[in-house]
Amino acid sequence: MISISEAGLGDISTIQKITNITWPITYGEILSKEQLDYMLGLFYSDEALAKQIENKEQLFYLILDSDSTIGFIGIEHNYKNEAITKIHKIYLLPETQGKGFGKIVFEEIAKMASENNSNQLLLNVNRFNTALNFYKKLGFEIKETVDIEIGNGYLMEDYVMEKEI
């Protein structure tokens, strides 16, 4: 049985552990090791996560299956002062993928979004990420193509995808 619980500062190491398992698998063939390492430091260092959690820049939630943490999400309601919930992060451990957990998590995100007066979900996905097809199956559509400079000469080459709820 899947449950989602709010994460706090005490969960930073759990979030980092999941990231360190999922990122090399998700992005290992897309990004160089140098860019991967740079992005992990930029977005998932103790300081970066603490700032995001403390300032409520994103709401972090752990995804649990019974007593095991199998993933996490980072979302932002009222994105850019609009009725949009932005999904900044969603990662599930590789051994859980393909078992329907992702679909359940997205249903829960949509429920939380509706409770916070959002009528749309928004996310960015790397243009070469295989999750793109999963998001399309869930009803997300590509809104635009973006290149986001993140420093050190690196780009995030993404699609912005949206779904009405």
The predicted model gives 46-69 an average pLDDT of 95
The predicted model gives 60-65 an average pLDDT of 97
Query: Is pLDDT of 67 > 90?
Result: no
pLDDT per residue as tens digits for the range 113-151: 999 999 999 999 999 999 999 999 999 999 999 999 999
pLDDT per residue as tens digits for the range 22-36: 999 999 999 999 999
Which residues are CB-contacts of 148 (< 8 A; sequence separation ≥ 6)?
A: 124, 155, 156, 158
What structural domains and CATH numbers belong to the chain?
A: 2-164 (3.40.630.30)
Q: How confident is the model at residue 49 (pLDDT cuts 50, 70, 90)?
A: very high
CA distance 124 to 127: 9
Whole-number pLDDT of residue 142: 98
Query: Is pLDDT of 1 > 90?
Result: no
- pLDDT above 70 as % of the chain: 100
